[in-house]
Amino acid sequence: MAFLEVQGIEKCFGNLKVLNKIDFSLEKGEVIAIIGSSGSGKTTLLRCLNFLERPDKGRIIVNNKVIFDASDPTTQRESEVRKKRLHFGLVFQNFNLFPQYTVLKNVTLAAELLARERPDFKQEKKAILKEIQERGKLLLSQVGLSDKLDYYPHMISGGQQQRVAIARALALEPDILCFDEPTSALDPELTGEVLKVIKNLAERNTTMIIVTHEMDFARDVADRVIFMDDGVIVEQGPPEEVFGNPKEERTKQFLTRYNKN
């Protein structure tokens, strides 16, 4: 069985079916790029994986463990949602950094809050917090921001803020790192620095799902591309097949429109 199995996921908002029988798998260390027009269901799919939305039907299995089954209420307890989210780190379109905290604090905050629930936290508080701080510094070094630890979000560029958001998502060591159009809020001149960080993560075999409109990037970095339209997966396969020889007419039409733009 694959590391991630998404089986029959459906999601409706009122009478509008946004996701319809979504099935795909993801291997450990694999990178999937999801492409498609606005409104095709890409973001909703990521939000379902991260449990920001609850699917109406289907199952989500991580590392052979069912973490969500729409037909099994025991997998939907609110008390378990936060633990389930730890499987999926999510980097949003907009950076969502806390303006009152430094770059380093933005990266370490969630880990510090979780650490307080550890039974040994009171006894080992100093050592635990030091370890979290050191990991935060390491992650910021990996995204090229070692010199910005004490800066606040308003003091750095949009591209740098998104790199902080990536480091923050990595801080909790998720099984799968998800990106929702990570460059859509950036000026073109800042896009490259964020894509470079994601490419470096791919080269380190980070397991990732990337919703993107950057077709050249998807072609270059992804192991597999999924094309979504109107809430369904229309086509999926290696980048050279989906981009070079798409089988479905809807895929061909989407790529033709994109290339014209």
pLDDT digits (tens, 9 = 90+) for 62-111: 999 999 999 999 998 888 888 888 899 999 988 889 999 999 999 999 99
What per-residue confidence (pLDDT) applies to 102?
98
Lookup: tokens for 141: 């070094």
pLDDT for 259 beyond 80: no
**DSSP per-residue codes, 52-83:** SS--SEEEEEETTEEEEETT-GGG--HHHHHH
Report the pLDDT averaged over residues 136-153.
97
Distance CA 67, CA 9 (A): 13
Residues 6+ positions from 216 with CB-CB distance below 8 Å: none
Distances (CA, A) of 5 to 8, 54, 87, 108, 230: 10, 16, 13, 30, 21
**Tens of pLDDT along 106-132?**
999 999 999 998 899 999 999 999 999
Residues facing 24 on adjacent strands? 6
Q: Which of 166, 164, 158 is nearest to 146 (CA)?
A: 164
Distance CA 250, CA 37 (A): 11
Mean pLDDT, all residues of the chain: 94
What per-residue confidence (pLDDT) applies to 261?
64
**Tens of pLDDT along 192-238?**
999 999 999 999 999 999 999 999 999 999 999 999 999 999 999 99
| pTM of the complete model | 0.93
What per-residue confidence (pLDDT) applies to 150?
97
